[in-house]
Amino acid sequence: MTPLFLDTSYLIDYLKGKTLSNKDEIVSAVRQKIVYYNGIVLTELLSGVQTQKRQKQIMKMLSGLTYLPIKYEDYKQAGLFRNSLFKKGFSMSTPDALIAAHVKHFPLKLITRDKFFIKAGDLLGIEVEIPVE
């Protein structure tokens, strides 16, 4: 099984209780300890927290995943990704570029609900899966 990176959009839908098409794959990968996230995902999840209860849910959920720290080379790669996409007429946020850099470097499959990543993934050579409800 390919190791996975869970994007913020996927984790938000998970927290909302949505049943997504790849639930069994995710559960299996979590059990194998091959599911990752980074500081971008942590920051985005906590930015939307309304209650202490939700914050605890988020932290508990993330405790079952592996944290990938962002390093100098990741920032460099993210900048190169953004530059490459800009030259092709696409715009990518810095947070998304940092996620793409991790996915490409390790390599991981990106699990997201953000359809932008389908086109970006093709252009950057990263594997992307968008689960459906």
**pLDDT digits over 2-61, tens only?**
999 999 999 999 999 998 888 889 999 999 999 999 999 999 999 989 999 999 999 999
Q: How many domains are there within the chain?
A: 1
CATH code, 97: 3.40.50.1010
Q: Select from 80, 92, 98, 83 the least CA-distant residue to 120.
A: 92
Instruction: Find the domain containing 71 and state its range.
Output: 4-129
Burial of 112 from C-beta contacts in 10 A (0-12 / 13-18 / 19+): buried
What is the model's pLDDT at position 19?
86
Does the structure show a pLDDT above 90 at 1? no
CB 103 within 8 A of CB 77: no
What is the model's pLDDT at position 114?
93
- The continuous run of DSSP H or E covering 128 comes out as strand 127-129
DSSP 111: E
